[in-house]
Amino acid sequence: MIQLKEVSKVYQTKTIETTALNNISIQVSSGEFLSIMGPSGCGKSTLLNIMGMIDEPSSGKVTISGQSISNYHSKALARFRNQKLGFIFQSFHLINELSVIDNVELPLIYRKTSARERRKMAAEALEQVGLKNRMKHFPGQLSGGQKQRVAIARAIVGKPGIILADEPTGNLDSVMGAEIMDILLKLNKELGTTIVMVTHDETMAQKTHRLIRLFDGSQVQ
């Protein structure tokens, strides 16, 4: 489903050159739940961004569903992300000026979905994460765990085939974290959603199908 072939990423700043990823080749198959672990700064987020086609590798090849990507700025690629990918970020990235339900609707804004249909789908997604009674709240009125659940609702509202989660439980206590993990496991099991998750938590990683370890931009396991 997602294929990375000899992918490297080098960040060039004025003074230093950082190799965030070094010759990585990974294949994620459909329906798989893959977790990525590694110390801070080893390139996990970079890897996830490249899988999510929001970042361009310095070298190597990325193929999604058999198609390789040439133009990272194209509208077609943006649409592809919109249709096929769901993103969950470590720091939630909710829009504070929008209510919970409007935040969840966001991916649907960029599709041809009627306003009523959007509402319905967003409400369903919120129900799945157990936040139906918080629809009219604003992000500032929510706890960290609730925010992350809103972010998950936003990631699943468009029913994407793939979810990319960057430390979805990183900012949460263990109880909250376990709850989020349960939601992801359920999605993977019941809907067959492919999930790639970055985590620092061994026990969570153990619950997934496969674990990849990164060290200094290279795959070590």
Partner 1 sequence: MIRHILQLIWNKKRSNTLLFLEIFFSFIILFAVFTIVTRYMRMYQSPLGFQTENIWIVHMNFNDLTDTSAVNEMKVRLKDELLSYPQIQAASYGGEATPMGGSVWATSHDQNGFQLKTNIIFGDHDYLETLDLELVRGRWFNESDADARYMPIVITEKFYEETFKGKNLTDSIYIITEESNIVGVVKNFKYRGDFATEDNVAFHYKNENHIDLSRLILRIAPGTKSGFEEEVNQVVASITKKNDFTIEHIEATRSRLAKMIWIPIIAFLSICGFLVINVSMGLFGVLWHSISKRRNEIGLRRTLGASQGEITSQFVSEVTFVSLAGITLGFVFALQFPLLKVFPIEAINYYLAMALSAGIILLLVLLCSFYPSWQASKIHPATALHEE
Ligand X SMILES: Nc1ncnc2c1ncn2[C@@H]1O[C@H](COP(=O)(O)OP(=O)(O)OP(=O)(O)O)[C@@H](O)[C@H]1O
Q: Which residues bind ligand X (CB under 6 A)?
A: 11, 13, 18, 20, 38, 40-46
Q: Does 110 bind partner 1 (CB under 8 A)?
A: yes
DSSP state of 95: -
Q: Does 193 bind partner 1 (CB under 8 A)?
A: no
Buried b / exposed e across 151-171, counting CB within 10 Å, b at 16+? bbbbbbbbebbbbbbbbbbbb
Between CA 88 and CA 152 the distance in angstroms is 6
How far from 49 is each of 17, 130, 219, CA to CA, in Å?
A: 19, 28, 16
Site for partner 1 in 123-182 (CB under 8 A): 154
Q: 131 Cβ partners below 8 Å, 6+ apart?
A: 100, 146, 149, 150, 153
116 binds partner 1 (CB under 8 A): no
Q: In angstroms, what is the minimal distance from the CB of 111 to partner 1?
A: 8
115 binds partner 1 (CB under 8 A): yes
User: Tokens in use for 187?
Assistant: 């999605």
Helix (H) or strand (E) holding 138: none
C-alpha span between 197 and 146 (Å, rounded) = 19
Using the rule CB under 8 A, which residue among 10, 69, 98, 185 binds partner 1?
A: 98
Q: Does 33 bind partner 1 (CB under 8 A)?
A: no
Residue 66, token pair as written in the block: 């058999």
Nearest of 193, 196, 147 to residue 4 by alpha carbon: 196
Closest contact distance (angstroms) between CB of 51 and partner 1 is 11
For residues 22 to 61, the per-residue mask of contacts with Mg ion, x marking binding by CB under 5 A and - elsewhere, is: -----------------------x----------------
Considering CB distances under 5 to 8 angstroms, the limit depending on partner class, which of partner 1, Mg ion, ligand X, none binds residue 81?
partner 1
Integer Cα distance of 22 and 51 in angstroms: 15
Smallest distance, partner 1 to C-beta of residue 168, A: 15
Instruction: Report the interface residues with partner 1, using CB under 8 A.
Output: 45-46, 49, 52, 54-55, 73, 75, 78-79, 81-83, 87, 89, 91, 93, 95, 97-99, 102, 105-107, 109-111, 115, 154
